[in-house]
Amino acid sequence: METTSNPIGVLLLRPLSPYLQQELSKRYALFKFWESPPNLRREFLGEHSNSIKAVVCNGVQGADAEIIDALPLLEIVASHSSGLDKIDLDRCRERGIRVTYTPDALTDEVADMAILLILATSRRICAADQHVRSAEWKNADFKLTSKFSGKSVGIIGLGRIGSAIAKRAEAFGCRIGYHSRSLKPNSRYKYYPSLTDLASDSQIIVVSCALTRETHHIVNRGVMDTLGRDGIIINIARGSHIDQAELISALAEGRLGGAGLDVLEHEPEVPDLLAQLDNVVLSPHAGASTYETRKTLADLVVGHLEAHFSNKPLLNAVI
């Protein structure tokens, strides 16, 4: 553990919860990466490279090769997220750097967000809100929308979160199908080896799988066209699961009915055309952004760091 004369340095990449910052500051020398101007960050890392032994990141900004290489004493990367795609895992393995994540803590909130996005997209809640606020309601009723109850829902990835989404959708009387790398022997839902077949038999597609080389742009033009003009795509996983340019075209041309997106391919950048479409509901990667979950995530991250620097087993170790 750290000593008064030589405290362990922890680099926090993004301004995560005040509670996490407080708990880290109690135990370590906390370096706030976002407070350094972007053009001076390389110098910032060099200045503190002899102190920083841990990096705390999340699903938006992770420890890439440049950060890892700038920190010769780095021992552990602790992700405040269930995703690992923003971390250069190969470089961590080469360097013998431990990596932890928080896979179980955010399942319920992210599954809730998926259902929220389905309802908000199918019922056009954002457009309806604007209809009221702009006083258009005085002139005309809001246009008709589509119901969610009883629809066929196809889930890409039937892991923890995908299963939680399926359970919630069942409560709406929905028929559930799924596509994944392999059949889930204990699942009662119909398995589709082909994503195109799942799309052809679904009215709503929910992306809930890990981002890998194989799942990059897994939702492409073919999937969108198969889902069709009344179909809806929901993404609570990672932006790069969907070919975003093709998605925008499909939505703008009316080849796809709507989309609910908690993640974007190049977040936080939002294409102008996407932002202008009224058949899209956008959320700023906030699926797990609740007070309750953020405290749980923070406690897990701090626990991972404490375990590592005390030479104890790591609860959720990837490397």
Same domain, 138 and 262: yes
Selected catalytic residue, list 238, 241, 294, 308: 238
Work out how many domains the chain is built from and give that number.
2
pLDDT digits (tens, 9 = 90+) for 134-157: 999 999 999 999 999 999 999 999
In a domain, 258, yes or no: yes
- Mean pLDDT for the stretch of residues 63-91: 94
In a domain, 53, yes or no: yes
Same domain, 266 and 148: yes
- Mean pLDDT for the stretch of residues 180-201: 96
| pLDDT value at 3 more than 50 | no
In a domain, 317, yes or no: no
Selected catalytic residue, list 2, 75, 170, 267: 267
Q: For residue 97, give the CATH number of its domain.
A: 3.40.50.720
Instruction: Clarify whether 238 is annotated catalytic.
Output: yes
pLDDT digits (tens, 9 = 90+) for 102-129: 988 899 999 999 999 999 999 999 999 9
Same domain, 187 and 305: no
Map tokens 């809806």 to a residue.
232
226: containing domain? 106-282
Same domain, 273 and 163: yes
In a domain, 3, yes or no: no
- Percent of the chain clearing pLDDT 70 (strictly above): 98
In a domain, 4, yes or no: no
In a domain, 233, yes or no: yes
Instruction: Clarify whether 285 is annotated catalytic.
Output: yes
Backbone torsions φ then ψ of 317, nearest 5 degrees: -90, 135
- Mean pLDDT for the stretch of residues 58-70: 93
Same domain, 155 and 304: no
pLDDT digits (tens, 9 = 90+) for 34-62: 999 999 999 999 999 999 999 999 988 89
Same domain, 273 and 177: yes
Same domain, 63 and 163: no
Same domain, 115 and 86: no
In a domain, 34, yes or no: yes
Give the chain's mean pLDDT: 95
Selected catalytic residue, list 80, 131, 241, 285: 285
- The pLDDT value given to residue 5: 55
| pLDDT value at 4 more than 60 | no
| pLDDT value at 304 more than 90 | yes
In DSSP notation, 78-131 reads EESSS--TTS-HHHHHHHT-EEE--SSTTHHHHHHHHHHHHHHHHTTHHHHHHH
| pLDDT value at 255 more than 50 | yes
Same domain, 31 and 119: no
| pLDDT value at 1 more than 50 | no
pLDDT digits (tens, 9 = 90+) for 257-286: 999 999 999 998 999 999 999 999 999 999
In a domain, 319, yes or no: no
Same domain, 67 and 151: no
Same domain, 255 and 121: yes
Same domain, 303 and 172: no
